[in-house]
Structures are given as structure tokens and as C-alpha cells.
Structure 1
């Protein structure tokens, strides 16, 4: 008998149908030589401090740092979990072979292997690795099962992440709570949550301490076209007036006219973070809500695996894309311009070297079920339009730059005319897209731009009307959930360029699948609140970040480097032992530093505290795991 273990009952039902296990039993399906059972997300977790040492049950500075000689796992205390685990254990004892059908990612690998370890599994194991839950994908997956050994590095990286979060989160939370908390107050510290909080606090302090300054830009109007002076900003209006008095009666001379053809490629396909950013912008969905929605679309078989960090497809997907496009019945009118043509194959879309475990998020080609919620339909629409757009031509435009001179002052006017909208026709009439592009343009625009400029000739000259335009320096904007996700992905760097963003992903903080949960933890801890779309740090959060002197605890850049090492472990390029040893050394040094603090500082804040130490570490509490499993 072959035993298939999935991560959720709903996935178990889908797989049972494919393998022919049609008889429903208590906690599993059976038939055709197969049994199909499931976990409820996490059934096991790392042991808690008191499980290793009775002295660690009581919170005490003298017991820190807590570092077990060997980490172990245990069943999450829950009657329903215990019953399901016993079912899995009994089936493992009876089977000849196991197929690990967990979600095809780092966390899925950890969930399944912990259960099999706890059950004392000695049976041969193969891995089902699929990017969608369509019948075709499941069948293909069973035809190409992977050896368990292939996924060992993925499991090792997940285990290192869990141990690192345990060592740093539990120890630092106890340390700071006992040293600086008031009356049993818990000050939650985490390997990812604290650097993320520090980003929000730093941005807020920058805004609050910002002193606006007026300045004046020199411009002039020639032949009904506004020219801007290069590098001529004045901190005092009178200085600008002196220049205007000097040049107002002198002629403006055109020194150069250039026209350049330009192209704008379609935006990249979605990884999870960019999808969360887009849904926050266009739909005002929070990161966690977007993740829940795309997970539901995946389980309803209409989109591919969501917890991905690549925006590329593999080359072999190219042959399937035509069929997927044809399946999008509600979008056929949009695709008329590319009908009858060979589908475009861009290196910005198809690149095997940029895909490891899963490709970008795209539609699967399955018909949409009638029971989609409004949020699911809206998110699917965003994914579908993006997928369609990458097969359209680039948007082509002509940019005209006119350089001119008055006395010794250089001026410039620019105009940009769309020659062929290309992929932008996909979004024609999409007000949300227009609003997003307008907002992005306003944020980036630093010079006068216009549409069609009148014809200018090099050497022409004539009168002009100079003027001063008053401007005021602006503070940075508060983070939204979307912009905070982007900052986490790039370890705090402010990056709009898609190519640079891709390069920085290797050292982003957190994983695509966990970043939304980290933001939710910060809400729950009372560290951040939302005002409209803006995220604000609470006084307690500002105090806590100011209190932390250890840069490794709060630096997004340094934490990003650690995340990079976890990815290296996943690819067998870095030692798991070295990573864990560094974590242990780090918490020992932090403990000594905090204990030596002679001040008697205390943080007082009203927070809804839950003293679950598992949540203190990284928010992966028993309750949260139960909730995930029951969905």
C-alpha cells in the first residue's frame, strides 16, 4: 500500500480522486492500493523551553540564554491533532511506501518531515512536487515523483530557520521583557519582526523630525512651452528674482533638439510580494488578506502555487501559455490584437535560470467556479491581466528633448508621445491601473513633461517669460502594507527598478510566505496601527526600538544577510551548523550586553498581550497553526 500525506483535508480529497482512493474512512481515503491522509498544517512544533528543562518554565534572567544541547519536536497539544496524528502513524506502520504531498515549499517540507519523524517513519519516501492543484498537474506530478533526498537541503534550511527563530525569539523576548517590561509585560522580539518594526519606526521618526523648507525653481515659457533651468533652485526668492531681472530681456536660444525612440516593456509577472503590493495599491487589501485570497484561488485550482519569490516562467511553460490564454473566456476581447500571431517569448518572462522550485503566479487555465468571492475575482483579474500583458508588444514612444540657453543658464523641455501603446491596451479603461500609474509618475517625476511639443529648430531664438515656481521639500511617506512589503523584500532599500529589485531579493528579510504574518504580529503586539492606509508605530514600539542597541536585532540589512545564508543552505552553499552556531553566539552576546545595562529603563505600553512564547518568537503560535490547519 502506498500512503500519500497531504497538508490539508481538501488537498487530500483532490489527490484521492486522482489515485483512485474512493472510500472515505475516519481521517483518510482508501482504495486502488492507496491511502490518502493529511495533516492540519503544522501538527508538530519545536519543543518549548520547559520541555527541555524544568527550570526554564519560570521566566528568569539567570536562566538566559536558553540553548538546548539538541532540539526536539513535539505534537501540538490538541485532541483533534492527536487523533489525526495517530491515524497517520498507524497508516505509516501499515504502508510499503510514502508519497509526501505537502505544499511544495520550505514550510511544507518541514511540516511533513516533522510528522514522519515523530511517527518514527522508516519507510521509503518520495516527493510530489507540483505548482498547481489541477487534475493534470497532480497526474503529471505522480508520473515524476522526486526522491526525498533531493529535498533534504530545503528541509535543512527550514529547520535552521525554525531553530534560529526559537533561539533568538524566545531568549530575546524573555530578556527584554524581564529587563525592561513593567509588571509582567511581554516585549516581543523576533528575528524578522524586530527589523521590520525598526523600518516603520525609522521612517516615522524621519517624518516627525522633518523640517520643510521652501525653495524656488527657475522656469521660463518660450513659444507656449515651459522650460526648466538645470540646477537652478534658490533657497531665497530674492536670489531668483535677481537672475530673472538679468535674463528677462535676453533672448532664449535653442541649442539642441533630439528625438529618441523608446520602449517600455510590460511589467513582470507576479511573485507573492509584488502581488500583495499590487493588491494593496489597487484593492486596498492587506498583505495577509491577499495571501489568504490567493491561497484560496490556488486551492480552487484557478491559479498556480502562491508562495513564490520569482517573477519568471520556465521555458517549458511557453507551449502551455496559448492554451491558458484561450481558457480566459472573459478576456478574449482584450486579446484580439495578438490573435493569429506567434506568442511573444521574452527573456524577462521565460528564464529557467531564474526559477528554482516554482514559477511566477499565473492562471492555470481551469474555468472559474461560480463560488468565487468578490475579493477572489478582483485578485484573479489582476493576475489574469498581468499574464495577458506579457505577450503584448512593448509600449513604444518618442521622447523629444529641447535644450536651450539664456545667457549662461541652461534650460530644458521634454515631451513624450506614445506611438504604439502595446501592452497598455490591456489596461485601457482600467481606472485602478490609471490611478496607480499616475500616482507612481507623481512620485518619480522630477522635471516638466508634456505630450507633443511644437517643432523647434536648433539655433532659433526669441523672447521668453521667466518665472519662479515656489516648491516645498516633502518628507518621505509613511509605509503602507504594500511599501513595507517591498522594503522587507529589499532589506530596507528603496527600489523601484524591477531588475535591481530582483537582484536584492536574495537578501530580503523574511520569506514571501511569512512577511504578511510578520506584519500581522506587529498589529497584534500593539506595535503598529493603521491610519487609513498608512502604518504608524505606537509609542511603545518607538521606545522599544530606541532601547535596542544591538544592531543585529534591528538592522534590516544585517537580517537580510542572514536570510541570504538560509537561502544558501537551501542550495547547499552554506553550512547549517555555522548558521546555528552564529545564532547561538549572537544571543549570548546580546544577553551579556543587556544584562550589563546599568540603567533602570522601563517601557510602559497598553498592549493586548498573549504570553505564548511561540508567538513571541515569530508569531507561529499553536493557535495560529490550528487556525491554519482548519481552513
Structure 2
């Protein structure tokens, strides 16, 4: 008997249907020499401190640091978890082979391995690795099952992450609670949670310390076009006024007209973080809500595996793209021009070097999605249009820069015109927000036809403005900051390169934000995330910079990725963390 273990009942049902295991039993399906069962996410967890020695049950400074000689796991003491584990334990004892059908990622690997360890699995274990739950993907996956040993590094990375979080969280939370918390007050500190809170507190401090300063800009209107003085800002009003007086009553002369044609490539496909950012920006959906929605779409077989950190597709998907596009019948008007000719194999989309476990989030294209909620439909529409746009031509633009002068004061105005919309055609019917539309219209203003040397009257003015403080984080900007370890990066290629040093994983960032909210370290103020007095006080209390450094946490993430890829050892990572914990306690 071949036993398949999925991560949740809904996924087990899909696999059972494909395998022909159609008889429902208590906790599993069976048929066609297969048994398909499931976990409920985590059934096992690392042992609590008191499970190692009675002395560690008490919160006592003399017991720190708590570093078990060997970490162990235990069942989660909830009735439904214990009941399902007993089912799995009995099935594993009778199985000729176990097929790990857990979520195809680091955490999914850890969940299944712990269950098999706890059940003392002795039979051979294979691994199912799929990126969508369509019948075709499941059948393909079962044709290319691999031995579990091929994913040993993935398991070691997940285990190192869990142990590292235990070491730091258990020890430092107790340390700071006992030292600074007062009676009954717990100061929760975590490897990813605390640097994320520190980012928010730091930004808040910058905003509070900000003092607006006035500055002046010299502008003039000529032929209904606003030109700005090339001198830039004036810190002193007198300087601007002197130039204003010099040009008043003087003619404005166009000195040069420069036209430059350019191309804009389509936006990259979605990884989880960029999808969460876009959903927060467009629809005010939280990172957690977006993850829940895209996970549902995956389980409904309309999009691929969501917990990914790449914006590329593997090259073996290239022959399937045309079929996926044809299957997206709701978007036939947009896909028809693409499917009429062979799909180009563009390096911006297909790159095996940029894909590890999974490719970017894309539609499966197997059927037009039906029965989706309004939010599910909006998220699906984003993914679908981004996928279609990836295969459209570049958008061709023309940028015109007109320079002029009045009494030897230089001015400049810039206009932008879309010559061929290319991929922008895909997004024309989306109905963006009013302010976004206004920004687009301003950015794409077409200048009238000017002639070099023409001259005429103009209306100069000195405009007073004020410097503005940094903006508070939204979930979108915080996710980007976590992705780049707190550095502001707008360039797509550079951001891609910095992902290895990001704080947390794409799949865990939403939960980190949720935890900070739940513990009242941060709160929502409309779209903004603001640190509470409790959160600010906690960051002020933590004197050890290592605990709140986004850069250091980013380095740890890179090492965990190195464990997964075989370039770094889990033992070295854990030794480093144990030494750090001991040093902090001392």
C-alpha cells in the first residue's frame, strides 16, 4: 500500500480523485492501492523548555541560557491534531511506501518530516513536488516522484530556522521579561519580529524628529506650459525674489528641444511579496488577507503555488505558455494576439538560474475560474493580467524636454507621450483610482509643438513650499522594507538581487505583521502601521543591537538559504546562534 500524506484535507481530496482513491474512511481516502491522508498544517512542534528539564518550567534568570543538548519534537496537544496523528501513525506502520505530498516548500517539508519521525516511519519515502493542483500537474508530479533524500537540505534549513527561532525567542523573551518586564509582563522578542518592529519605530522617530523647512521654487508659465527654473530650490526667499525681479517683463525664449524615444518593458511576474504589495496598494488588502486569497485560488486550481520568492518561470514552462493563455477564456480579447504566433522565449520571463523550488505565481489556464468571491476575482485578475502583459511588446514612449531662458535664467519642462502602448493595453480597462489616474495624466502630459528660438511673454512666479517628513509605513512599504532589510530600493533588478538578505521569508512576513498587531506593538491608523507606546518602549529597552538589526537578520536569512542550497551548514548557523544567545544573557 502506498500512503500519500497531504498538508490539509482539501489537497488530499484533489490528490485522491486523481489517483482513484475514492472510498472515504475516517481520516483518509483509499482505493487503487493508494491511501491518501492529511495533516492540519503542523501536528508536531519543538518541545517546550519544561519538557527537557523541570527546572526550565520556571522563569528564572539562573536557568538562562536554555540550550538543550538535543532538540526534540512533540505532538500539539489539541484533540483534532492528536486524533489525526493516531490515524497517520497506524497507516504509516502498514505502508510499503510513503509519498510526502506536503506543501512544496521549506515549512511544508518540515511539517511532514516531523510527523513521519514521530510515527517512526521505517519504509521508503518519496516526495511529490508540484506547483499547481490541476489534474495534469498532479499526474505529472506522480510520474516524477523523487526520493526524500533529494530534499534533505530543504528539511535541514527548515529545522535550523525552527531551532534558531526557539533559541532566540525562548531565551531572550525570558531574559528581557525577567530583567525589565516587571511582574507578569512578557516582553516578546523574536528573530524576525523584533527587527521588523525596529524598522517601524525608527521610521516613527524620523517623522517625530522632522522639522519642516521652507524652500522656494521659481516657475513660469509660457503657452500654458509650466516651466521650472533649472537652479532648483532656493533656501532663501531673497535669492528667488532677486531672480523673479530680473525676469519680470522680459520675454521667454525657447533655447532647445530634445526628443528621446525609449522603451518600457512589461512589469515582472508576481512573487508573493510583490502581489501582497500590489493588493495593499490597490485594494487596501492586508498581507495576511492577500496570502489567504491567493492560497484559496491555488486550492481552487486557478493559480499556481503562491509562497514563492521569484518573479521568473523555468524554461521548461515555455512550451506550455500558449496553452495556458488559450485556457484563459475570460481574457480571450487580450490573449488572441499572443496565441496567433509562437511565444518568444524572453530572458526577462524565463530564467532557470532565477528559479529554485518554484516559479512565479501565474494562472493555471485550465478553466475559466467560477464561483470566486469579489476579492478572489480581483486578486486573480491582477495575476492574470500580469501574466498576459509579460508576453506583450514593450511600451514605446517619447520624452520631450524643452529648455528656455528669460534674462539668462534657465527653465525646463518635460512631457511624455506614449507612441505604442504595447503591454499597457492589458491594463487599460482596470479602472485605477482617481489619484493614480491624475498622476498618470500628469506624467504623460504631451507638450505643444515648440520651435527653437521662438519667444514671447510669460507669467513667472515664486512658489513657496515646505520639506515633507518621511511617510509612515503601510503594509505595502513595510513588506518592501522587509524584503530589502530596511533599505529603500526602487530599482526592480537591484531589489531582486537583495532578496537573499531580506527579513523573513515571503510566506512568513504576513504572519510577522499579524503578530506585532496582536501583541499591541503596532496598530493600524487607516492604511498606516504605527508603533504603539508599548512597541516603542520595547525597542528602547533592547540594548543589544543584534536583536533589532534588520541587516543581521537579513544575513541570517541568507545563511538559511545557503543551507537549503548546500553552500552553508546548519550546524554552523546554530553554533553561531547559541554563542550569540549565551553572550546576550551574559
Task: Give the TM-score of the pair, scaled to structure 2.
Answer: 0.96
Alpha-carbon distance in 2 for matches of 1:565, 1:255: 56
Structure 2: which 5+ runs fail to align?
A: none
Alpha-carbon distance in 2 for matches of 1:272, 1:394: 24
**1:103-122 pair list within 5 angstroms:** 103-122=103-122
1:385 counterpart residue number: 385
1:494 counterpart residue number: 488
Shift of 1:251: 4.8
Shift of 1:144: 0.5
1:587 counterpart residue number: 581
2:545 counterpart residue number: 551
Alpha-carbon distance in 2 for matches of 1:35, 1:136: 20
1:469-501 deviations in Å (ceiling 9; x for gaps)? 221111111111111111111111112221111
1:77 counterpart residue number: 77
Shift of 1:275: 0.7
Alpha-carbon contact 1:413-1:449 (below 8 Å) kept: no
Alpha-carbon contact 1:282-1:436 (below 8 Å) kept: no
Of the candidates 445, 454, 469, which is equivalent to residue 451 of structure 1? 445
Shift of 1:194: 0.4
Shift of 1:22: 2.1
Shift of 1:280: 0.9
**1:136-535 pair list within 5 angstroms:** 136-338=136-338, 340-368=340-368, 370-432=370-432, 435-436=435-436, 451-535=445-529
SS in 2 for 1:416: strand
Alpha-carbon contact 2:217-2:234 (below 8 Å) kept: yes
Which range moves more in the overlay, 304-313 or 228-237? 228-237
Shift of 1:449: 5.5
1:434-486 deviations in Å (ceiling 9; x for gaps)? 754756x79xxxxx956222333445555544321221111111111111111
SS in 2 for 1:372: coil
Distance 1:449 1:370, change over 3 A: closer
1:96-147 deviations in Å (ceiling 9; x for gaps)? 1111110000000000011111111121111100000111000000000112
Alpha-carbon distance in 2 for matches of 1:18, 1:106: 25
Alpha-carbon contact 2:130-2:141 (below 8 Å) kept: yes
Shift of 1:507: 0.6
Alpha-carbon distance in 2 for matches of 1:48, 1:10: 31
Shift of 1:180: 1.1
SS in 1 for 2:161: helix
Distance 1:180 1:286, change over 3 A: same
Alpha-carbon distance in 2 for matches of 1:372, 1:452: 41
1:621 counterpart residue number: none
Alpha-carbon distance in 2 for matches of 1:269, 1:449: 24
Alpha-carbon contact 2:418-2:444 (below 8 Å) kept: no
Distance 1:467 1:450, change over 3 A: farther
Tell me how many residue pairs correspond in the alignment. Answer: 586
Alpha-carbon distance in 1 for matches of 2:557, 2:169: 15
Alpha-carbon distance in 1 for matches of 2:484, 2:580: 23
Distance 1:434 1:354, change over 3 A: farther
Alpha-carbon distance in 2 for matches of 1:84, 1:465: 78
Alpha-carbon distance in 2 for matches of 1:315, 1:369: 26
Alpha-carbon contact 2:326-2:339 (below 8 Å) kept: no
Shift of 1:430: 1.7
Alpha-carbon distance in 1 for matches of 2:429, 2:88: 53
Alpha-carbon contact 2:106-2:157 (below 8 Å) kept: yes
Alpha-carbon distance in 2 for matches of 1:154, 1:438: 47
Alpha-carbon distance in 1 for matches of 2:92, 2:448: 78
Alpha-carbon contact 1:569-1:575 (below 8 Å) kept: yes
Shift of 1:337: 4.7
SS in 1 for 2:45: strand
Distance 1:35 1:357, change over 3 A: same
1:243-297 deviations in Å (ceiling 9; x for gaps)? 2222335554444321111111111111001111111111111111111111111
Choose between structure 1 and 2 for higher RCO, CA contacts under 8 A separated by at least 6 residues: 1
SS in 1 for 2:334: coil
Shift of 1:47: 0.6
Superposed structure 1 runs of 4+ greater than 6 Å apart: none
The CA RMSD over aligned residues, in Å, is: 1.9
Alpha-carbon distance in 2 for matches of 1:453, 1:490: 38
1:8-59 deviations in Å (ceiling 9; x for gaps)? 1111111112222222222112222211111111111111100111110011
Alpha-carbon distance in 2 for matches of 1:351, 1:369: 28
1:618 counterpart residue number: none
Shift of 1:236: 2.6
Task: Give the TM-score of the pair, scaled to structure 1.
Answer: 0.89
SS in 1 for 2:301: coil
Alpha-carbon distance in 1 for matches of 2:336, 2:17: 38
